[in-house]
Structure 1
Amino acid sequence: MSVFTQQILEDIENLPPEMQAEALDFVHFLRSKWIRTEAASKLRASNSGEAVAVMVEIAARATAFQGIDTPEAWQREVRQDRPLPGRD
């Protein structure tokens, strides 16, 4: 395990659960950003047949919504009103 990985794990373990979930969301965002960048570079370097194969491969490993069991419950939770800081 790299030093970076160890440091990230230690920092995340010291966060409250709701912030750990937020950190996980951010990791998923970074991963999808990296996948898009990887796809763009492969598409520029390949012909159209290979480009389609790359797109299918990337779509097959996409896991952005893997942690959502019921989309309806997730949507309700995301849309739930939350108190704003500094307001009663």
Structure 2
Amino acid sequence: MLWKMVLGMELYPRIGKSFDIKVFTNCRFGMMSWAVLAVTYCIKQYEANAKVSDSVLVNTTLMLVCVTKFFWWEAGYLNTMDIAHD
């Protein structure tokens, strides 16, 4: 409790009762940005070379699978030990 007074910040800052800033920045913004960037790089490579290399295609596919899995199990992710401890 003393560290809150010294630093003047909360562990889980909120706006109102339902908007959690930490969840938004880590989950929504961060994970969605990762997916959008992966697809954008594929598009850029296609525009530059008229094809997408196998390595970029596999990397993008795996990233999209990871992001999809994250959003599918988001409630479980927020209850994991590293997030709860963080």
Task: Give the TM bin, normalised by the shorter chain.
Answer: 0.3 to 0.5
Q: Which of 1 and 2 has higher RCO (CA within 8 Å, sep 6+)? A: 1
- Whose strand fraction is larger, Structure 1's or Structure 2's? 2
